[in-house]
Amino acid sequence: MGSSENIIEKFYEAFANLDAERMIEWYHTDVTFEDPAFGILKGAQARNMWRMLCETQKGQDFTVQASNIEFNDTRGKARWEAYYTFSKTGRRVHNIIHAEFEFKDGKIINHVDRFNLYRWAKQSMGFKGFLMGWTAFFRKKLNKKVRHYLSEFENKQHNEKTLIR
């Protein structure tokens, strides 16, 4: 990767356009992704997570803004902010995420997103999030739920491809 090529900027430009396929072009085949909601995802699961997120936000009031992007040939970081309505409760969310990247072969090999899960829970779930959002129980339950949604999404994608053949 030449230092003039800003993979991180291109990644978030694609995300702002909800273009998952363009986003994951920047992911290495062996990518690892981690965040407080999904935990650790590898390879196809990490790519499918972006496909799912982009698909579910199309036509919604979702916006992404990336800033403070720094990078060199092996590492990078950014701050990104997501604004959206949480579908389960109809509540507005402004999530502030700090991302760290490692690069290999000109692609993202490791991507870690960090955000305050308690702050997110209070915004997205109101009083319930205020009461429970800080607990390990909440994190485990959320992790299980979002991984279930991802699994359903992957099964649906697989079944649609099978029908097309």
DSSP string, 141-165: HHHHHHHHHHHHHHHHHHHHHHHH-
- For the chain, give the mean pLDDT: 93
**Cut 0.95: pTM above it:** no
Half-sphere exposure at residue 66, Cβ-oriented, CA atoms within 13 angstroms: 20
Query: Which pLDDT does position 158 carry in this prediction?
Result: 76
Cα atoms in the 13 Å half-sphere on the side-chain side of 53:
25
What pLDDT, in 10s, does the model give residues 104-162? 999 999 999 999 999 999 999 999 999 999 999 999 999 999 999 999 999 988 777 66
Q: How much is the pLDDT for 159? A: 76
According to DSSP, the residues that pair with 8 across neighbouring strands are none
Assess whether pLDDT exceeds 90 at residue 93: yes
d(CA 24, CA 17): 13
